[in-house]
Structure 1
Amino acid sequence: MSKTFDEKLNEYARVLVEAGVALQSGGKLLINAPLDARPLVHEMVRVAYRRGALDVRVEWRDEELEKLRLTEGGREAALFMPEWAMEQAERMVDDGYARIGLRGDDPNLLAGVDGALIAERSKKTAQMGEKVSAAITGHTVDWSLGAVASSAWAKNVYPDLSEEDAVARLWEDIFTVSRINENDPVAAWKDHTDRLARLTHYLNDQQFSAVHFSNPEGTDLTVGLADGHVWDGGAMAGATGNSTVPNMPTDEVFTAPHRDRVDGVAVASKSLSVRGTLIQGIRMEFKDGKAVSVSAETGEETLKQLLDTDESAAHLGEIALVPASAPVAQTGTLFNMTLFDENAASHIAQGRCYSTNIAGGSDEEKLLAAGGNKSLIHVDWMIGSPTTDVDGITKDGSRVPLMRQGEWVVEAAN
């Protein structure tokens, strides 16, 4: 018997709380969500308290308020951020609150807004939130990301449908790629993350010196890997010891590049939504780790401002391998949201690396010495496709096929 919408929504809430952050009895939870997410959030709170949560806090997000600050408030208002707000966020990290973020913002929300002002505010936000970001990338707090089919996002993805039909279609996509249509979604996630664990174990055993991406669309990129790099993917255990799933959906295995050992050309296979702007047709040329030539068909100025955030933003902090047959890719939909689109294609990320992707990376000196990248940003963009080949390069220069035509060819993937 097929599940009703309400049954699927309830299952999704359970998956986010139980599998996403693995909330335990006595745990504390912070949920950040857009207003459209109220029914889902209410069910998540119900699930959390039934599991014995001590406290559940909800931060509601109205994206139009952020736009009004930038368009109506003037520069001083645009750049104002009360220190107490960041102090509260830091206190919640120190107090062990798990975090679930629900994404669903309009990809084109800030189109037409002063890009330089957006860049200034984004940089200041990143600077003030550096402690919280470090806790997230270092997995010293349990966290997960999910999605909600907001009206604005749904109409962006399905512009030819009515608002009601677009929202319904997008919810079904979310349920499909999040394994909610399975008989037992939590068990289905366990099976899936076990498979990703087999891949990470294989890659960690190999300790390749570099990974090479190539496809007919123009990508020809050699990414040297950080010394003592560690591959992760699927479920992860942080400082709490809980087995969490940071991204839902997720089909990636990922690691840290060496910030100075990236050479070649990367061409985007999908658009990138960042800072309220849709960037399309990205092309970057890297030399000695740095993007030395940058262009885009649309949103080029926003892209260049992003790379100017700090001196490390033009270097890479992540590479991730994703099969072209992943559930997100199988929908045939371009979601214009990184959480989804990065799980439809192999990708790279500008900026900060995850400290867990380098042995001993929690020590900043060791992370930097190993070639890890420290930056205020971490922005993924997609370069994989059904025509992409990926090779692991050993220390002696030999090549080991990892993917052919966008699909895994190593036995660990089975």
Structure 2
Amino acid sequence: MTTIEQNLENYADLALKVGVNLQKGQTLYVRTPIYAAPFVRALTKRAYEMGSKNVHIEWNDEEATRIKFEYAPEKAFSEFPQWKADPLVKAAEDNAAFLSITGGNPDLLKDANPEHVATQQKAAGKASETFRSYIQSDKVSWSIVAVPSPEWAKKVFPDSSEDDAVDKLWSSIFSATRMHEPDFVDAWKNHLATLDEKQQTLNNKKFHALHYKAEGTDLVIELPKTHIWASGGSESKAGVNFVANIPTEEVFTAAKKTGVNGTVTSTKPLNYGGTLITNFTLTFKDGKVVDYRAEEGEATLKGILEGDEGSKYIGEVALVPHRSPISDTNIIFYNTLFDENASNHLALGSAYAFNIEGGKDMSKEELEDKGINQSITHVDFMMGSADMDIDGLHEDGTREPVFRKGAWAI
């Protein structure tokens, strides 16, 4: 076996053993771009060796997507075939494990009509609403891993040749995902245990709100009364432990829908559907975005905010220290999976049902009544920095430091 083949097999083990935690007799559902085929083949082999009943692969082609946005008629973007969404629901009901592969061209749709991008995302979001509810309530085991495309690699390492850029990006991915550890599965267990300690500390504090202060940011986020902090590890309805994001450095909860006030400024570019949004600021009043601006990609940001009514509110609140294996690479990945785990971040749109007591078994209406935002979108954006301070606020007005200068203070 060559070094490349061994690396791909090891990375497949990470995705299967740590990510979705594939069980014997379980179906694996993989959604992947076609450029990741060598890795997907290694993944498929390892899945069957681990006893998977079946590996279903849903391929997509970035170039075909770009062509669609260049040549398709306008009505094409308001359609999303239900027959693509329904098999995901059926597989979820059959307790499949779901693995998504990211890492495409960050600039894929930079020349596309932003209204078409927004319309397409909205159509896909509506069609996939049922399946997304399975994901956001952890009824199934699911995970996301990255495989570098040449275009992504060149975006991150523009001064390198294409082959060198891909090699460098693979190395950076392996570093960020602890693949260089002698026993990476054991290293992940130790890492998740550390995150769990922070999760427990925050749950014991039962803060009423968080107050963020940094350059360009002065924001207060109230938390639901029965909020629950979660960490990188999750548990499916079947009792299987899994890690949704590989890598992960976050501890997160839900915002109270109507309890966000102030201004927040992004600190890393947001890659949304092949378009970059940079240096943007959002102003909130009673939870809702009432003003926004962006240096680049403002029309795309507008499209996100107009996805539906819930798109204008915060769902997820995630705490990530400024120093981590990801941020220590000193790389802007132009990929949310990595950049969000190098920075405190928030998510516009839907919250996770499991971030509130009893939320996994609540209806949409019950979640809304508890202050949990519902939306067809969920878009993470990065707003942490080395100078960020965060205070936890209690209902009696007292404060406790949670972050100081981008580092944990509890």
Q: TM-score range by the shorter chain?
A: over 0.9
Q: Which residue matches 1:128?
A: 127
When structure 1 is superposed on structure 2, of 72-81 and 188-197 the one drifting more is 72-81
Cα distance in 2 for residues equivalent to 1:93 and 1:14 = 22
Q: Which residue matches 1:143?
A: 142
Q: Which of 325, 340, 357 is 1:359 aligned to?
A: 357
Q: Which residue matches 2:396?
A: 396
Q: Which residue matches 1:294?
A: 292
**Residue segments in structure 2 that go unaligned for 5+ positions in a row:** none
Q: Deviations over 1:361-410 (max 9, x none)?
A: 23133311211000110001111011111111112111111111111122
Residues 80 and 311 of structure 1, relative CA distance in 2, 3 Å threshold = closer
How far has the Cα of 1:75 moved from its partner? Answer: 1.7
Regions of 4+ moved over 4 Å: none
Cα distance in 1 for residues equivalent to 2:63 and 2:123 = 20
How far has the Cα of 1:5 moved from its partner? Answer: 4.1
Contact 1:312 1:374 (8 Å CA) reproduced: yes
Q: Which residue matches 1:174?
A: 173
Q: Secondary structure at the match of 2:258?
A: strand
Cα distance in 2 for residues equivalent to 1:102 and 1:87 = 20
Residues 298 and 194 of structure 1, relative CA distance in 2, 3 Å threshold = same
TM-score normalised by L of structure 2: 0.97
Q: Deviations over 1:156-191 (max 9, x none)?
A: 111111101110000001100011000011111110
Correspondences of 1:11-410 after superposition (within 5 Å): 11-215=10-214, 217-362=215-360, 363=362, 364-410=364-410
Cα distance in 2 for residues equivalent to 1:213 and 1:19 = 32
How far has the Cα of 1:12 moved from its partner? Answer: 1.1
Cα distance in 2 for residues equivalent to 1:283 and 1:157 = 24
TM-score normalised by L of structure 1: 0.96
Contact 1:360 1:367 (8 Å CA) reproduced: no
Cα distance in 1 for residues equivalent to 2:365 and 2:112 = 39
Cα distance in 2 for residues equivalent to 1:310 and 1:288 = 17
How far has the Cα of 1:4 moved from its partner? Answer: 4.0
Cα distance in 2 for residues equivalent to 1:346 and 1:60 = 32
Contact 1:11 1:185 (8 Å CA) reproduced: no
Cα distance in 2 for residues equivalent to 1:263 and 1:67 = 38
Q: Secondary structure at the match of 1:19?
A: helix
Matched to 1:25, the amino acid is: K
Contact 1:8 1:180 (8 Å CA) reproduced: no
Task: State how many pairs are aligned.
Answer: 407
